[in-house]
A and B are shown apart, each in its own frame.
Chain A
Amino acid sequence: MAHDGHDHEGSELSPLALRVKALETLLTEKGYIDPAALDELIETYETKVGPRNGARVVARAWTDAAYAERLRKDATAAIAELGFVGRQGEHMVALFNTPDRHNVVVCTLCSCYPWPTLGLPPVWYKSTPYRSRVVIDPRSVLAEFGTALPDDTEIRVWDSTSEVRYLVIPMRPKGTEGWSEDQLAEIVTRDSMIGTAVLGSAA
Chain B
Amino acid sequence: MNGPHDVGGMMGFGPIAPEKDEPVFHEPWERRVFAAALAMGATGAWNIDISRHARERIPAVDYWNSSYYEIWFKGLLRLLQEHGLASAEEISGSTPSLPPAKVKRVLTKDMVQGALAKGGPANRPLSTNAKFKPGDKVRTKNIHPTAHTRLPRYVRGHMGEIVLIHGTHVLPDSSAHGKGDDPNWLYAVRFTAKELWNKATPDTVMLDLWEPYLDPA
Spell out A's residues near B (CB within 8 Å). 1-3, 7, 13-14, 16-17, 19-24, 26-27, 29-34, 36-42, 44-46, 50, 85-91, 93, 108-111, 119-120, 122-124, 126-133, 135-136, 138-139, 141, 144-145, 151-164, 191, 196
Contacts and interface: CB of A to CB of B under 8 A. Distances in A.
Given A33-B36, A41-B35, A91-B166, A132 B24 contact: no
Among A41, A46, A108, A191, the one with the most B-chain Cβ atoms within 10 Å of its Cβ is: A41
B111 A27 contact: no
A125 B206 CA distance: 17
Given A37-B109, A152-B202, A1 B26 contact: yes
B203 A122 contact: no
B7 to A, nearest CB: 4
B187 to A, nearest CB: 9
Given A3-B27, A110-B55, A33 B9 contact: no
A87 B120 contact: yes
A129 B64 CA distance: 11
Interface of B: 5-11, 13-19, 22, 24-29, 31-36, 38-40, 43, 48, 52, 55-56, 64, 68, 70, 73, 76-77, 80, 85-86, 90-91, 93, 97, 100-101, 103, 106-109, 111-113, 115-123, 150-152, 154, 164, 166-167, 169-170, 172, 186, 188, 190, 196-197, 201-210
B201 A131 contact: no
Given A26-B90, A90-B121, A91-B122, A33 B68 contact: no
Contacts of A90: 119-122
Contacts of A120: 24, 34
Chain A: interface secondary structure? mixed
A123 B68 contact: yes
Contact of A38 (B8, B39, B93): B39
A46 B25 contact: yes
Given A123-B19, A123-B68, A132 B108 contact: no
Given A17-B28, A132-B7, A160-B208, A42 B68 contact: no
B134 to A, nearest CB: 14
Given A37-B111, A151-B202, A163-B122, 15 more contacts: A17-B28, A22-B93, A24-B36, A27-B36, A30-B86, A32-B39, A33-B107, A37-B39, A108-B154, A120-B34, A152-B202, A155-B202, A158-B206, A159-B207, A162-B169
10 contacts: A22-B91, A23-B73, A40-B113, A41-B38, A90-B122, A108-B7, A122-B18, A157-B203, A157-B204, A160-B208
